[in-house]
Homo-oligomer: A and B are copies of this chain.
Amino acid sequence: MGQASTRDRIVIAAARLLQRQGYVGTGIKQIAKEAEATLGSVYHFFPGGKEAVAVAAIKYSSQEFAAVLRDALDSEEDPGAGVQACARQLAEGLRASGWTDGCPVTAAALETLGTDSEIQQACVNALRSWEQTVTDKLLRSGFQARDARELATTIIGALEGAEVTAQVNRSEEPLRATSRQLARLMDSYGVSRS
């Protein structure tokens, strides 16, 4: 990480801090310190201030998780098993971080709901891209378009909620239980497998 550019270090540090303490709870000076940069650098690369840093960080986190999601889903042929693999991946990350590093979008999204900042749009885009990733997998598995979209919304939402529950309970059981039930739900559609 020592060879990463200052700008990249800022984005990555901001992403991690946002994930842990949310938007309001993260100070711009803290971001600078964590990124081993100075306040001047932060405002040089992000003249828009704290909000601009947060938007860049959320976009970064969004793509990062989209990749994790895609890999987990593609690691199994059955989409239900793929969702369970994804839940295991999430649980692993949570446990490794001491249950602090949760969904990079949820916290920031909730805190800026009233405002009309660009952060909102970044969160909407993140959720949409994740849903699309799941939808694609379901379509490839033979689901009908309408079922696939509705299931994808349900799956992303349920995983998000289960992750929060897992965090506050410091247990991966909610993620396990939820992914098991999601797999059962997908099985109930009885899609023909090639």
Interface residues of A (CB under 8 A from B): 20-22, 24-25, 99-100, 102, 106-107, 109-111, 113-114, 120, 123-124, 127, 150-151, 153-154, 156-162, 164-165, 167-169, 173-174, 177-178, 180-182, 184-185, 188
Contacts and interface: CB of A to CB of B under 8 A. Distances in A.
B164 A114 contact: no
Contacts of A106: 106, 110, 164
B127 A169 contact: yes
Contact of A110 (B110, B177, B180, B182): B110
A110 B102 CA distance: 8
Contacts of A123: 168
Contact of A153 (B100, B150, B178): B178
B156 A161 contact: yes
Contacts of A160: 160-161, 164-165
27 contacts: A20-B113, A20-B114, A22-B111, A24-B25, A24-B111, A99-B113, A106-B110, A107-B107, A109-B167, A113-B167, A124-B168, A124-B169, A127-B168, A127-B169, A153-B174, A154-B158, A154-B162, A154-B178, A157-B174, A157-B178, A158-B158, A160-B164, A161-B161, A161-B162, A184-B188, A185-B188, A188-B188
A142 B92 CA distance: 34
A111 B107 contact: yes
A154, A160, A173 — most chain B CB neighbours (10 Å): A154
A130 B100 CA distance: 23
A160 to B, nearest CB: 4
